């Protein structure tokens, strides 16, 4: 919420500086998010008088002005405003000044061959309003040469974050009350004018929805003249971030910002019959002041007459009955709406407003009569007119909460010692009634205070949150036991491993658009959809990590990224067998763009393929502790993958640990991503633990005492035999001695029979207790040859 220092001082008698007020606001829990001094933006702008105005010699729409700035020698200024004329007073921006609206620095320059020393400014250029048809015209008594910031009474503006539990501070008066309670000045008594009723109210007012609108008050003003609101009101509204509209509308906005009390004004001539607070009828529509049409239902409270709905109660008025320049008679409405009903209606309609913000947090139900009297006085002072009697329908909540309070609780809960007398003073300064036996009566506007703990909070924050000492929590002696679960340790290890392999971690939303989720849903399953999503693009719980990674890849590639190596560890969500929600930990990898850039040797860039995806899958599975050497490579990666360039890694025929490969062109087309794109999904929950352990976590490395021995073998095999099959057979020939085997050559051609190929392997043997003897190495070699022969492999001579 924004407000100016000048506005605050209307309610708070204080000599505190801006810095002192800002510090006090932070101390009492009203965080200052910004502090702006408009005088700094208006530096270099001065009240000036136009002495002469002559046509520009080379431009029909420009004039050459002679301007008195109060410094003695008049300045020549070229101006295109239609209202510029000799004798008027306006605002001159001198060379060096920066125009607030566009950041342009003014300089002495030649405009169509005529020297110009600055610029005569409009309201919009100084960000004082929306008018831009001409330059600012100041009154005759405006002192020439005065800084415009001083003349305009530019006041520092505070931007304060109001937490949802403090609707009483969503008006300047409420903030002044808190500051006065904290000792930053004295709160001025609220000036509630006495309005003389000149006639009986001609409008009938009723409430037929006592749950949604318990109280509905109003009165008629006739003979008003709508126009622009006074300068002082516009300045305060602009400082608060509001755009001045018209005097009648500005008066209601002023009441809301000053006292946190929304109200509404209707053009009486546009109303037909009684004005009633009631439930909407299913299918009724309203064109709101934001020029959008909304369809209502019977859970919503509206203000209507015989012709139809004119107001979504407590949220926004209708376009039809709004006040215009031709309005002469108005109905002022001020009501109390149920906060819960306001919140539900606003969310259903997707309709936000300043009024909704206040009503759904809870306004002061005791401020109806006073608020209507203040609004009536504002309208009469700005628009004239005479007022009718007040018509009241219903009753607002009037039962105040009574809380038994122990002052000693403040030290126990708040951690700060405050005397009982000081606590009583603070509570009474906030309008709490405190009896001799410490029964505390809460003001009706304090909906957030429900028990003794809330009173402790009030006392401590006014005393000063910065005065609460920081005390460390007690800690037992010794070293804390590790608290990370095996799954958390696995996630950390995999993150380090993926980053070490050159992958960049992405964190994407757990929600997807419906179409994206359906594309990656498992066959026969339906993704979880939210009843109350943040938006349509975040409606469904993700059944896979790949849609989010594809969206991240698209954003980066659209911005020129040539190569992307992304990974994410997160959870997938789908329906379990019982229909309940289920989630599984997954690691996703996406490789897109260029694997290597163009080089002189290759001549062109290479792109990622299925083998890159498989390499990432095997490396990360190994880091997760899976027995990679025992995995089977099979198909059926899913319809999202290219059928000829994808596969699965399985521990047994049914246990799929990962799927990998290049994504199907139709998948890439659905996500508008240029291919090819390689991807991996590792299903971490599917990795079985070792016997007697919680996971496949690797033990600490202990190097062997004896040096390893390597032997090379070359086999002739059928051309269609998968090299992995031979590798697997060799590794299993003697598991106690063979610790590794790798293929270092595959050859077919001259010297190799047709239909055959030669595969050469390096086998690593690791002695345990003693070095190998020749006979032991020969026995292991024979076992390797024998195991290979089962696949039809012949040892080459």
Binding site per annotation, positions for Mg(2+): 448, 454, 457-458
User: In sequence order, what DSSP letters do the residues of 242-279 get, joined into one string?
Assistant: PPP--HHHHHHHHHHHHHS---EEEEGGG--S-EEEEE
User: H or E stretch including 369?
Assistant: helix 368-383
Helix, strand, or coil here: 717?
strand
Q: How far apart are the first and last CA of the chain?
A: 88
Question: Which are the contacts of 126, defined by CB distance < 8 A and separation ≥ 6?
Answer: 42, 45, 91, 99, 100, 101, 136, 148
User: In sequence order, what DSSP letters do the residues of 557-575 get, joined into one string?
Assistant: HHTT-SEEEEEEEEEEEEE
Neighbours of 698 (CB within 10 A): 12
The answer to whether the CB of 646 falls within 8 A of the CB of 677 is no
**Known binding site: residues?**
448, 454, 457-458
User: H or E stretch including 11?
Assistant: helix 5-11
Burial 521-555 (b: 16+ CB within 10 A, else e): beeeeebbeeeeeeeeeebbbbbbbbbbbbbbbbe
Question: Which are the contacts of 489, defined by CB distance < 8 A and separation ≥ 6?
Answer: 697
* Residue listed under structure tokens 């007690």: 474
Question: Residue 692, class by beta-carbon neighbours within 10 Å (0-12 exposed, 13-18 middle, 19+ buried)?
Answer: exposed
* Residue listed under structure tokens 């610029």: 119
The answer to whether the CB of 267 falls within 8 A of the CB of 327 is yes
Angle subtended at Cα 236 by Cα 138 and Cα 358, rounded to the nearest 5 degrees? 155
Query: Is the C-alpha dihedral spanning 322, 323, 327, 332 positive or negative?
Result: positive
Report how far residue 213's alpha carbon sits from residue 207's, in angstroms, rounded to the nearest whole number: 7
Report how far residue 86's alpha carbon sits from residue 77's, in angstroms, rounded to the nearest whole number: 13
The answer to whether the CB of 368 falls within 8 A of the CB of 215 is yes
Neighbours of 571 (CB within 10 A): 15
The answer to whether the CB of 45 falls within 8 A of the CB of 136 is no
* Both structure tokens of 401: 């909460």
The DSSP bridge pattern shows strands 504-505 and 563-575 to be parallel
The answer to whether the CB of 763 falls within 8 A of the CB of 696 is no
Burial 714-746 (b: 16+ CB within 10 A, else e): bbbbeeebeeeebbbbbbebbeebbeebeeeee
* Residue listed under structure tokens 């085997």: 741
Report how far residue 345's alpha carbon sits from residue 313's, in angstroms, rounded to the nearest whole number: 9
Q: Quote the crossing angle between the two packed helices 420-429 and 452-464, to the nearest 10°.
A: 90
Report how far residue 671's alpha carbon sits from residue 374's, in angstroms, rounded to the nearest whole number: 58
Which value, in Å, is the radius of gyration of the alpha carbons in the chain? 39
Report how far residue 616's alpha carbon sits from residue 679's, in angstroms, rounded to the nearest whole number: 9
Report how far residue 189's alpha carbon sits from residue 369's, in angstroms, rounded to the nearest whole number: 16
* Residue listed under structure tokens 């505070």: 158
The DSSP bridge pattern shows strands 275-279 and 205-207 to be parallel
Angle subtended at Cα 116 by Cα 112 and Cα 120, rounded to the nearest 5 degrees? 115
Residue 299 half-sphere exposure toward CB, CA atoms < 13 A: 10
């Amino acid at each position: 919420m924004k407000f100016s220092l000048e506005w605050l001082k209307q309610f708070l008698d204080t000599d505190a500086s801006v810095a002192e007020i800002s510090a006090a606001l932070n101390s009492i829990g009203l965080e200052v998010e910004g502090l702006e001094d408009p005088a700094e933006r208006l530096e270099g702008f001065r009240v000036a008088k136009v002495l002469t105005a002559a046509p520009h010699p080379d431009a029909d729409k420009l004039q050459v002005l002679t301007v008195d700035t109060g410094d003695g020698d008049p300045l020549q200024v070229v101006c295109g405003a239609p209202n510029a004329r000799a004798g008027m007073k306006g605002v001159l921006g001198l060379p060096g000044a920066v125009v607030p609206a566009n950041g342009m620095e003014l300089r002495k320059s030649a405009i169509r061959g005529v020297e110009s020393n600055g610029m005569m400014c409009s309201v919009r250029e100084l960000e004082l309003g929306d008018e831009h048809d001409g330059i600012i015209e100041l009154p005759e008594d405006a002192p020439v040469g005065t800084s415009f910031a001083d003349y305009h009474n530019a006041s520092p503006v505070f931007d304060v974050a109001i937490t949802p539990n403090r609707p009483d501070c969503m008006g300047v008066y409420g903030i002044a009350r808190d500051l006065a309670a904290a000792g930053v000045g004295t709160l001025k008594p609220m000036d509630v004018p006495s309005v003389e009723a000149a006639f009986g109210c001609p409008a009938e007012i009723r409430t037929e929805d006592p749950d949604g609108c318990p109280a509905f008050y109003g009165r008629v003003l006739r003979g008003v003249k709508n126009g622009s609101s006074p300068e002082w009101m516009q300045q305060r509204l602009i400082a608060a971030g509001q755009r001045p509209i018209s005097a009648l509308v500005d008066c209601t906005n002023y009441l809301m910002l000053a006292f946190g009390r929304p109200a509404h004004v209707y053009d009486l001539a546009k109303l037909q019959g009684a004005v009633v607070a009631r439930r909407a009828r299913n299918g009724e529509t309203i064109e709101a002041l934001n020029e959008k049409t909304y369809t209502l239902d019977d859970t919503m409270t509206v203000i209507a007459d015989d012709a139809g709905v004119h107001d979504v109660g407590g949220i926004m008025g209708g376009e039809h009955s709004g006040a215009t320049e031709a309005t002469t008679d108005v109905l002022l409405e001020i009501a109390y709406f149920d906060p819960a009903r306001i919140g539900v209606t606003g969310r259903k309609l997707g309709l936000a407003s300043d009024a909704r913000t206040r009503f759904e947090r809870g306004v002061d139900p005791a401020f109806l009569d006073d608020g209507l009297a203040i609004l009536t006085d504002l309208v009469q002072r700005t628009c004239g007119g005479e007022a009718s009697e007040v018509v009241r329908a219903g009753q607002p909540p009037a039962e105040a909460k009574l809380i038994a309070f122990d002052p000693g609780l403040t030290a126990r809960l708040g951690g700060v010692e405050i005397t009982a007398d000081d606590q009583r003073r603070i509570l009474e300064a906030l309008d709490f009634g405190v009896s001799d036996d410490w029964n505390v009566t809460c003001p009706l506007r304090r909906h957030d205070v429900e028990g003794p703990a809330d009173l402790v909070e009030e006392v401590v924050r006014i005393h000063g949150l910065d005065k609460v000492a920081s005390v460390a929590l007690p800690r037992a002696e010794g070293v804390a036991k590790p608290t990370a679960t095996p799954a958390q340790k696995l996630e950390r290890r995999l993150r380090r491993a993926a980053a070490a392999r050159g992958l960049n971690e992405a964190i994407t939303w757990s929600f997807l658009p419906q179409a994206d989720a359906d594309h990656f849903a498992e066959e026969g399953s339906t993704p979880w959809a939210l009843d109350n999503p943040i938006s349509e693009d975040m409606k469904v719980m993700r059944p896979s990590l790949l849609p989010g990674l594809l969206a991240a890849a698209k954003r980066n590639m659209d911005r020129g990224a040539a190569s992307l190596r992304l990974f994410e560890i997160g959870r997938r969500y789908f329906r379990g067998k019982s229909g309940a929600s289920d989630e599984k930990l997954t690691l996703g990898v996406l490789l897109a763009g260029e694997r290597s850039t163009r080089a002189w040797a290759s001549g062109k860039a290479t792109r990622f393929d299925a083998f890159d995806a498989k390499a990432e899958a095997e490396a990360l599975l190994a880091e997760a502790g899976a027995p990679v050497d025992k995995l089977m490579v099979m198909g059926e990666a899913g319809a999202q993958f290219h059928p000829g360039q994808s596969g699965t890694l399985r521990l047994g025929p049914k246990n799929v640990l990962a799927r990998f490969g290049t994504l199907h062109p139709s998948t890439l087309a659905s996500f508008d991503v240029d291919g090819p794109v390689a991807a991996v999904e590792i299903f971490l929950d599917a990795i079985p633990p070792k016997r007697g352990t919680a996971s496949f976590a690797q033990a600490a490395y202990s190097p062997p005492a004896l040096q390893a021995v390597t032997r090379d073998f070359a086999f002739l095999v059928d051309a269609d035999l998968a090299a992995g099959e031979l590798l697997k057979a060799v590794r299993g020939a003697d598991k106690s001695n063979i610790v590794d085997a790798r293929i270092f050559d595959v050859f077919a051609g001259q010297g190799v029979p047709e239909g055959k190929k030669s595969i050469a392997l390096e086998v690593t043997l690791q002695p345990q207790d003693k070095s190998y003897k020749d006979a032991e190495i020969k026995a292991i070699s024979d076992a390797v040859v024998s195991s290979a022969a089962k696949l039809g492999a012949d040892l080459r001579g």
